[in-house]
Amino acid sequence: MTKPSVGGLESPDLSSHDATAHESAPHVPVFAGAAREELDQLLTRYPTKMAALLPALWIVQRERGWVSEDSMAEVSDLLDLTPAYVKGVVTFYTMYHQHPVGKYFIQVCTTSPCGICGAEEVVKSLLRHTGTGDLGLTSRDGKFTVIEVECLGACGFATPVMINEEFIESVTPEKVPGILEDLA
Amino acid sequence: MGFPHPSHRQETPLLTRHFGEAEARTLDGWKKRGGYQALEKVLAMTPGEIVDIVKESGLRGRGGAGFPTGLKWSFMKPGDGKPHYLCCNADESEPGTFKDREVMRWTPHALVEGCAIAAYAIGAETTYIYIRGEFTEPLLRMERAVREAYDAGILGANAMGTGKRIDIYVHRGAGAYICGEETALMESLEGRRGNPRIKPPFPAVSGVFGQPTTINNVETLAAVPEILMKGAAWYKAMSLSNPKSTGTKLYSVCGNIRRPGTYEVVMGFPFKDFLHDVCGGALDGRKLKAVIPGGASVPIQTMEEAEATLMDYEGFAAQGSMLGSGGVIVIDDAQSMVAVIARLTRFFAHESCGQCTQCREGTAWTTKIVERIRDGHGTMEDLDTLVEIGENMTGTTICVLSDSCAVPVISGITKFRSEFESLIHGKRVHSVLTAVA
Ligand SMILES: Cc1cc2nc3c(=O)[nH]c(=O)nc-3n(C[C@H](O)[C@H](O)[C@H](O)COP(=O)(O)O)c2cc1C
Ligand code: FES
């Protein structure tokens, strides 16, 4: 039996991170096979189905790279919720992508503790070296999206940068090119 | 040892003493270090006895509010026929705070053991450890530790062979500071938007899934096994100041300081020695200007106040601030206080859940006005307006996120007024904290 993962963390499979997916293609269910088993296991942890919503959305994002309206509808069916309710939850939390993002989704903390240690320079360096141009945009090759985020809970290691599920500490503008090269 | 630096001789490492030792993360490594002996010991005691020891120890919540832990546990009524829950608050999103992260990364079994003891003491069959979504490494470490504990029969239907059920599950958040507020965390755990609830009812009466619930911070729970192994008197004796603040406290130190990291000192330790000696003081050629000692939600201290502080709940309060979460943000003379404050209010504006008008509107307007001053377009009237908005945001909302946004603004204007005035009068103050153009 598949062991349920914590927030879909156990097997980050980047090859399925599909930045070119379109809503118009027919929806292929996320919760079939192993993912369905995983969800069934998760449901045993909570007294209500609704409580499995955040974990279910994590599985969607792991499998598809983002959370589409079709996926929200699928999840709502499985958990006896309405699609509108699920969308309300998805939009509350910052970590669920409501649109496809780059293969490497880069989050940089710029809250004051990091800010006074030079986080803005790290952001500028990332924007320059990824060729994304501006915050929230995806580079033409579909590889990179860079966003600013609030405190990542690693303030003593300014500036922390998250690339997909990987957490990199003490990033300086000078280290950025090397970090990006390691990804390629 | 501390992390990422070796322990300083003035530290008292209890929770941090195995930081940096990879072996301590495994069940075997943890047992070699005395792990799970406390759990074994307490499973032979009655829940009431455990609660009494924790009460006697003087342990207070390390999540920010400092509520006495034993007293909180005593509100639970095991055996009343209802399901009971324990929530471990591992949402750690308060700017400046990263101590719980280190506990989970280095000593995940300390937290599992603390949760198991607390669950038994309050009669909770089920525990959820709610970890913020960005903490990918702590999530994996905790999940691994929980699995090991199940496989070894420490958790499950027959915990440690006693016939008692203790279940622990790790739950991943998805990016929302507000979910660290205890009732918002419960909403989130139930699969809802993280909107704080009106209290009462308090969680011990109606918490997660509408059932009696206790919620505690990671550091609070990780301290519990130590207390039960070594006794309340031993823990209580660890205080240099007053009997209301006992034991050790973790401080995560960041900003403009030579050795940022997580440190552990006894209650009542002099803040002056802590900053200049333990943490290494200012960077070369700079001078410390201000400290936010307990995470972004507590008042800013001048260096005079900071250097006169004894580090405990009462000590920080006596010097114009609060102990809060123990997230120490150090600010030096190369920074503009206005820019620092502007970025903090932007944080709160971003994180407001939007339920209460005072908070939703107040955080947004405060940010607009402070940023305007930062950018050289402010007026003297703006300062009065900010204080007025801040007063309107204090004590008027469902949770205290709103109050927290007013705190740096009001304490900043009061203690660093000249920096605001220079900007208003057209003198640019140097800052590395300028918006990305
Ligand atoms: C906006 C807000 C955010 C909070 N964030 C956290 C947090 O990340 N971690 C935490 O332990 N407590 C946080 N708290 C405090 C909790 O509401 C609660 O007091 C705490 O978890 C209780 O545990 P303790 O008694 O062990 O400290 C927050 C409170 C507020 C108002
Ligand atoms: S402020 Fe950047 S990680 Fe906390």
The whole-number pLDDT of residue A11 equals 42
Q: Going by C-beta distance under 8 Å and a sequence separation of 6 or more, which residues neighbour residue B432?
A: A115, A116, A118, A120, A121, B334, B335
Q: How far apart are CA B131 and CA B128, in angstroms?
A: 9
pLDDT at A90 > cutoff 80: yes
Work out the angle between the directed axes of helices B47-57 and B218-230 (0-180°, nearest 10). 100
Q: How far apart are CA A175 and CA B373, in angstroms?
A: 33
Contact in structure between A179 and A171 (CB atoms under 8 Å) = yes
pLDDT at B328 > cutoff 60: yes
- Could you report the predicted ipTM of this complex, rounded to two decimals? 0.94
**A2 in a domain, yes or no?**
no
The whole-number pLDDT of residue A7 equals 58
pLDDT at B435 > cutoff 50: no
DSSP B105-127: HH-HHHHHHHHHHHHHHHT-SEE
Average pLDDT over residues B252-265: 97
Residue whose pair of structure tokens reads 């932007």 in the numeric block: B346
**Residue A108 and residue A53 in one domain:** no
Query: What separation in angstroms does the CA of A72 have from each of A21, A40, B244, B282?
Result: 15, 17, 50, 50
Question: In this structure, what token pair is assigned to residue A31?
Answer: 């919760």
Question: In this structure, what token pair is assigned to residue B411?
Answer: 């304490």
For the domain that residue A41 is a member of, what is the CATH number?
1.10.10
Q: What letter represents residue B272's amino acid?
A: K
Nearest to A159 by CA among A129, A120, A133: A120
| Counts of helices then strands in chain B (DSSP H, E) | 18, 11
The whole-number pLDDT of residue A152 equals 98
pLDDT at B212 > cutoff 70: yes
- pLDDT band (50, 70, 90) for residue B4: confident
**A99 in a domain, yes or no?**
no
Nearest to A45 by CA among B173, B88, B142, B190: B190
**Residue A33 and residue A82 in one domain:** yes
pLDDT tens track for B226-246: 999 999 999 999 999 999 999
The range of the structural domain enclosing residue A59 comes to 15-92
Contact A6 B143 (CB under 8 A): yes
pLDDT tens track for B392-433: 999 999 999 999 999 999 999 999 999 999 999 986 555 555
Ligand 1 centroid – CA B215 distance (Å): 9
pLDDT at B436 > cutoff 90: no
**Residue A58 and residue A124 in one domain:** no
The whole-number pLDDT of residue B158 equals 94
Asked if A157 has any chain B CB less than 8 Å from its own CB, the reply is yes
Q: How far apart are CA B420 and CA B412, in angstroms?
A: 9
For the domain that residue A147 is a member of, what is the CATH number?
3.40.30.10
The whole-number pLDDT of residue B71 equals 98
Contact in structure between A111 and A73 (CB atoms under 8 Å) = no
Partner-chain residue, chosen from A116, A153, A156, that has the shortest CB–CB distance to B93:
A153
Domain boundary among A67, A92, A117: A92
pLDDT tens track for A26-47: 999 999 999 999 999 999 999 9
pLDDT at B191 > cutoff 80: yes
Mean pLDDT of chain A: 90
The whole-number pLDDT of residue B433 equals 55
The whole-number pLDDT of residue B2 equals 58
Contact in structure between B176 and B55 (CB atoms under 8 Å) = no
Domain boundary among A92, A119, A144: A92
The whole-number pLDDT of residue A13 equals 43
| A-chain residues near B286 (CB < 8 A) | none
**Residue A110 and residue A159 in one domain:** yes
The whole-number pLDDT of residue B3 equals 78
**A10 in a domain, yes or no?**
no
Contact in structure between A153 and B97 (CB atoms under 8 Å) = yes
Q: How far apart are CA B308 and CA B268, in angstroms?
A: 11
Domain boundary among A92, A119, A146: A92
A159 min Cα distance to partner chain B (Å): 10
SS3 state at B6: coil
The whole-number pLDDT of residue A1 equals 40
DSSP letter assigned to residue B206: S
**Residue A131 and residue A79 in one domain:** no
Q: How far apart are CA B36 and CA B114, in angstroms?
A: 9
**A54 in a domain, yes or no?**
yes
- For ligand 2, pick from A108, A123, A151 the residue to mutate: most ligand atoms within 8 Å of CB: A151
pLDDT at A22 > cutoff 90: no
pLDDT at B321 > cutoff 90: yes
Number of domains comprising chain A: 2
Average pLDDT over residues B332-336: 97
Residue nearest to atom 1 of ligand 2 (CA): A151
Q: How far apart are CA A62 and CA A31, in angstroms?
A: 12
Contact B176 A93 (CB under 8 A): yes
**Residue A88 and residue A108 in one domain:** no
Nearest to B146 by CA among B132, B129, B130: B129
For chain A, give the percent of residues with pLDDT over 90: 84
pLDDT tens track for A127-153: 999 999 899 999 999 999 999 999 999
pLDDT at A3 > cutoff 70: no
